[in-house]
Amino acid sequence: MTDKYEVYKALSQEGEVLYVGYGKHGRHAHCMSGISHNKGLNRYYFTSNGNMYVEVIHNNLTKSKAKQLEGSLIKSLKPKFNVVGARQTAP
């Protein structure tokens, strides 16, 4: 049995795309935990009192397809807290 992957995005209550990611089924929940690997997303979560939501936009994918879709979405949506090829810094 192969693992299934999902692609998701975290959004502010106003609909601003904050973060796009992929991972095994259920990975999207880390966005709303306050203990994500992404410091900017965690900071936003706490300073907004959790006023954000996460939407799974693709699921039941192979890892390679999920990674490909994540990259495409990051390029097109330009999420506030995704950092590609650079060290993340405080806003």
DSSP 16-78: -EEEEEEEETTGGGGGGTS--S-HHHHHHHHHTTT-EEEEEEEEEE-HHHHHHHHHHHHHHH-
From the list 2, 45, 4, the residue with the least C-alpha distance to 23 is 4
> What pTM was estimated for this model as a whole?
0.86
1 — pLDDT class (breaks 50, 70, 90): low
23-44 confidence digits (pLDDT tens): 999 999 999 998 898 999 999 9
Average pLDDT in the chain? 89
From the list 76, 6, 64, 16, the residue with the least C-alpha distance to 40 is 16
90 has a pLDDT exceeding 60: no
Residue 47 pLDDT: 94
